[in-house]
Structure 1
Amino acid sequence: MRISSLLVLFLWLLFGTSVQANDTIRVGVLKYGTLNWEMDVLEKLKLAKQYNLNIERIPLGSPQALLVALQGGSLDVILNDWLWVARQKEAQRDFYFYPYSTAAGSLVTHPQANIKTLADLRGKTIGIAGGNTNKNWVLYRAFLKQQANLDLAQDVTVKFAAPPMLNALLAKGDLDAVVNFWHYAAQLNAQGMTSLVTMPEVLKALKVEGQVPVLGWVFKQQWADKNSETINRFLSMSAQARQLMKHDDEIWKQIPTFTQKYPEQVHPFLIEGYRQGIPDALAEAQKVQIDSLFQLIKANDSQQALTGNLGGLPDDIFWRHTRVR
């Protein structure tokens, strides 16, 4: 009995400390962000335990706060876009990107604005989430120029504002249309407002085909290289949670950050938008599509505010995930 106890103690000293450290993943979330929905599912179904993980959900108040915490080492993973990862690479700061969602912004119109076609946007007042260095601005500007010979910078009145403010202004009739992030657009759709065009339609018109991830899991390369088995388990767990959310209607009734925040009439629109954004497994073709999108943004990014001096996306920003159970 004594030998057995000593052996257990020896094995714990040898392996236990490192396993415990590697098995804990600190996930940064926006306090009111949609990532909380998945985190609720993980907790409700105890999925982390099935993957031998301990998930620490760390809420912060802004995207910038998440970026600072990730770079400072107080978070292990966050959701962010691949363009940020590429620009960090340009600055000799190494991160990986792994696709999470293809959900992106939609152009939603007010029913009294008399906007039936793209040409009807001329002379209107349009709100856009983010600034003129945002991908939505660059892509919608290129799309409208191509499809309607309309320049967002000259032919309409543009107002940049935060997503909730844009929704409020559109509802009041102070704006004729908005380009807003998917979950804010879904809330407008629930109020009877129409999406004139969606980002997949924009990308298709601009010759970027297929599912193009907008957001992905982002984490430091050095950390992931040292903890590759752990991050693979985390990514597999995340994928399982989202597949449940994609196919199981009942699971949505068990998500407090979803059911308690949004009115019931909005739920179907948000669920549908979320499900449409769940990408298939990462394929080599998706990397090609992302690089095609990068080249499109660069061609329309006259001041290089988004793309910098990069000629293309570095290959090593993509994490090669090996699925585990």
Structure 2
Amino acid sequence: MLSRRELLATASLWSLAGSLAGSLAGSLAVARPAVAAPRSVSVGSLPFGTVSWEAAVIKARGLDAANGFSLDVVKLAGNDAARIAFMGGQVDTIVGDLLWAARLGNDGRPVRFMPYSTTEGSLMVAAGSGIASLKDLAGKRLGVAGGPLDKNWLLLKAQARDVAGIDLESVANVAFGAPPLLALKLEQGELDAGLLYWTYCARLEPKGFRRLIGADEIMRGFGATGSIALIGYLFDAGTVKAKPEAIAGFARASKAAKALLATDPSAWEIVRPLMSAEDAPTFEALKRDFLAGIPQRALDTERSDGERLYGVLARLGGERLVGAGKTLPAGLYFDGTA
């Protein structure tokens, strides 16, 4: 059993890894990205990440060739490795965070953001838990995936203050850490609640856990008019300029793969071996949440809500979270056209 001190130690290592990645990425930012062959697009894929699901459908159904490019999938160890590979030009695109993309743009590294998913994390509790509202978290053991500047954590804290009138950092026993560790500790009863990323939430549901509140619900509470895509495919502006037809083809193939997954059950036969879904309920929960996150809104609506949420997070997290920029950079959102 891990004590709270051990959980916090794990979180410190997690944060240190992120800091090291940020330093390395900063040192690479001055280098021009390596541009692959004009008809190829390389995408960074994380272990068990949903990018591998979409990429598998694109390759299996020949959607890359049909759209005039060749897709190369580069396996990466984690989010830090993905950011470093993207910054160094080892891959053309990764799925990344809107705030990070905005920060790069505001710091002089123009990046294009193409919405990938609106599905976000949730606050999970056991089905039989007596926790029925945010106010009930007082005195409870709360695990938070990521670190103190995680956007979902900042929004949850603000929601608890505004709606429940409590300061979660003061009234709850908070432990930050890696999502797999926190999910395990929640299952083992060593945590009373966990703020986790969506894939972990989906895996916990068949095991008898429920969502107390989702990030999407919180964002609507701060003025969002709909479900916001806070993660998207990131492209360096130089890459888009160097091979516009291939990038446009990739965008079309991505949308076509999502459409197949939404309408053709046989497409999930391609994906299921990649999902590590140990049973049918887990598979169905992952499938449901993936499909629910397919972006549907116009880019101008996305940007409007993105600006609104950016302002909230800039106020909550300050320069440590968003950098020196006061707004989303011009030209950030990308519709995928050549």
- Cα deviations across residues 17-75 of structure 1 (Å, max 9, x unaligned)? xxx92111111011221211111111221211211211110001011111111111111
Where do residues 236-247 of structure 1 align in structure 2 (5 Å cutoff)? 236-247=252-263
For residues 95-115 of structure 1, give each alpha carbon's deviation from its aligned partner in whole angstroms, at most 9, with x where no partner exists: 111111011110110235411
| Contact preservation (8 Å) 1:40, 1:257 | no
> 2 CA distance for matches of 1:110 and 1:192?
6
Q: C-alpha displacement at 1:256, in angstroms?
A: 4.6
Structure 2 letter corresponding to 1:95:
V
Selected match of 1:101 from 85, 110, 117: 117
1 CA distance for matches of 2:162 and 2:264?
40
Within-5 A mapping of 1:145-294: 145-258=161-274, 260-294=276-310
Aligned letter for 1:242? K
Which residue in 2 is equivalent to 1:312? 327
Q: Are the structure 2 counterparts of residues 259 and 285 from structure 1 closer, same or farther at C-alpha, using a change threshold of 3 Å?
A: closer
**In structure 2, how many angstroms separate the alpha carbons of the residues matched to 1:299 and 1:104?**
21
Aligned partner letter, 1:174: E
Question: Matched residues in 2 for 1:122 and 1:269: separation?
Answer: 30
- Equivalent position amino acid for 2:247 in 1: I
The 2-side partners of 1:200 and 1:118 are apart by 16
2:48/2:274 contact within 8 Å kept:
no
1:201–1:256 Cα change, 3 Å: closer
Maintained 8 Å contact 1:170/1:178: yes
CA-CA distance at 1:271 after TM superposition: 0.6
Amino acid at match of 1:93: R
Contact 1:101 1:215 in 2 (8 A): yes
8 Å contact kept, 2:64–2:249: no
Counterparts of 1:296-311 in structure 2, within 5 Å, are 296-301=312-317, 303-311=318-326
By how many angstroms is 1:260 displaced? 4.9
Query: Which of 92, 102, 112 does residue 108 from structure 2 map onto?
Result: 92
- The structure having more radius of gyration, on CA atoms, is 1
Q: What is the CA RMSD across the aligned residues, in angstroms?
A: 1.6
* 1:99–1:282 CA contact under 8 A, matched in 2: no
TM-score, normalized by length of structure 2? 0.86
Write the mapping of 1:55-70 to structure 2, written as runs, cut at 5 A: 55-70=71-86
Contact 1:140/1:202, CA 8 A, preserved across alignment: yes
Shift in Å, 1:228: 1.7
Partners of 1:257 and 1:139 in 2: CA distance:
35
Cα pair 2:44 2:73 within 8 Å, conserved: yes
Question: Measured at CA, do residues 320 and 266 of structure 1 come closer, stay the same or move farther in structure 2, by a change above 3 Å?
Answer: closer
The unaligned stretches of length 5 or more in structure 1 are: 1-19
- Paired residue for 1:119? 135
SS in 2 for 1:296: helix
Q: 2:89 aligns with which of 73, 93, 104?
A: 73
| 2:272 and 2:283 in contact (8 A); partners too | no
Aligned residues: 303
In structure 2, the gaps of 5 or more residues are 1-35
Q: Retained in 2: the 8 A contact 1:26–1:75?
A: yes
Q: Residues 133 and 262 from structure 1, CA distance in 2 versus in 1: closer, same or farther, beyond 3 angstroms?
A: same
Q: Distance in 2 between matches of 1:239 and 1:299?
A: 34
Moved runs in structure 1, 4+ residues, more than 6 A?
none
Q: Give the letter aligned to residue 107 of structure 2.
A: A
Q: Structure 1 residue 131 and structure 2 residue 142: aligned? A: no
Q: Secondary structure at the match of 2:92?
A: coil
In structure 2, the residue matched to 1:321 is 336
Q: Cα–Cα, structure 1 residues 199 and 51, in superposed 2: closer, same or farther, change >3 Å?
A: same
Instruction: Say whether residues 1:28 and 2:50 are aligned partners.
Output: no
| Deviations 1:241-287, CA, capped at 9 Å, x for gaps | 01111222232122254355543220111111101111115431110
Higher mean displacement: 221-230 or 159-168: 221-230
- TM-score in terms of structure 1 length: 0.89
